[in-house]
Amino acid sequence: MPKSRRADILPLMIRRRRGTTRVAGVALATAALLVAGAPATSSAAKHPKSRQPKRAATTAAPFCSSPVVDNYWAPIERMRPIPAVPEGGALPFAPAGMTLAATGPQRVLLGGSTIGFRLTNGAPATAAKPRRLNWTVLERLIRFTGKGQNLHQEGLKRIDLKQLPAGKHRGLTFPIPDGPAIYSLEVTIQNRRGRLLGRYGEYIRVVERKVDAGLSLAAYDKVVPGSYLESCFENHGTAAVTPTGTNLEHLEGGAWRPVVVGPQYSPVQSPIQRTLGPGEAERIATLVPPNARPGLYKLNATGTTDLGEPVTLSAEFGVL
């Protein structure tokens, strides 16, 4: 009896499946051997320890590089900022030529004074009537005590500004007492419907007048003859101080003798740039003459305050 086609094909498929199964089994066995023969690895090897980033090396700032050694404005920097008057004083809602500016001293004040804001119409005069403004200008002075948390309203003033002709100005001022305190001065401008057009202001700190200056050196020993010794003239007080010059002295036989620098050595000192306000500093370079003998020296620095009071500072150093 002839075999069916299915009977002829079935043994061949069975053989193929068996061959496939045999190949798969060989592959699995080989993989198992490879895993078994592989060296054991720790979790640290699988997950290498991440290297911590190296901290950047901190470099020291150049000597006397900061113009401020005592920040008398630091308490203000921790307070809530007030919108400043736009640069140049031009107001976005005002007619062309009209500006707003603060009057009186700014920032750190010595003792009492008078401060305020002023509106000015700098437009050229014309025969035409000035534009109607119908503004309500309110100026408020607030005094802060303690560390700036406690506040007390010192005054509130108002101007009903209908118009401001060309070349004219209007403003309000407040007297500031002598006692140490922090003040905020704010001005708000509203239209006739009461809508706020602008709010601007500033902080003022009143401090007591104090003369307190210091002198530090970039090097205190092993100073090389013929080099320039850098000094930092520091105004730690609140009174303005102007450095006026430096000179050297040498300790000889228990007494300080002035060091004479010949005219062939120039410049003897770097130029002094400015008057130092509260907490400011100035770097000055002074020549140590090439013929300076080893020993103990003294750098003297002089200056004057805003009231003409003399200031004399000294610092000792050694020469090789």
pLDDT digits 0-9 by tens, 276-294: 999 999 999 999 999 999 9
Average pLDDT of the segment spanning 32-61 = 51
Give the percent of the chain with pLDDT over 90: 70
How far is C-alpha 263 from the chain's CA centre? 42
Average pLDDT of the segment spanning 152-167 = 94
CA distance 202 to 140: 11
Query: Tokens in use for 160?
Result: 């009903």
pLDDT digits 0-9 by tens, 196-220: 999 999 999 999 999 999 999 999 9
CA distance 183 to 153: 10
**Which residues in the chain are classed under CATH 2.60.40.2300?**
213-319
Homologous superfamily assigned to 213-319: Neutral/alkaline non-lysosomal ceramidase, C-terminal domain (2.60.40.2300)
Query: How does 149-176 read in b/e, with b if 16+ C-beta sit within 10 Å?
Result: eeeeebeeeebeeeebeeeeeebbbbeb
Residue 175 above 90 pLDDT? yes
Residue 44 above 50 pLDDT? no
Helix (H) or strand (E) holding 118: strand 113-121
Query: Tokens in use for 250?
Result: 């040498």
Residue 150 above 80 pLDDT? no
Strand order through the sheet with 310-319: 255-258, 241-252, 295-305, 310-319
Query: Which residues on adjacent β-strands are paired with residue 318?
Result: 296
pLDDT digits 0-9 by tens, 117-145: 999 999 988 877 889 999 999 999 999 97
pLDDT band at 111 (very low <50, low <70, confident <90, very high): confident
Give the CATH class of 74-207.
mainly beta
The pLDDT score that the predictor gives to residue 56 is: 58
Cα-based angle 241, 247, 252 (whole degrees, multiple of 5): 135
Residue 224 above 60 pLDDT? yes
pLDDT band at 53 (very low <50, low <70, confident <90, very high): low
Pairing mode, if any, of strands 107-110 and 196-207?
A: parallel
**Which residues in the chain are classed under CATH 2.60.40.2550?**
74-207
Stated pTM of the model = 0.72
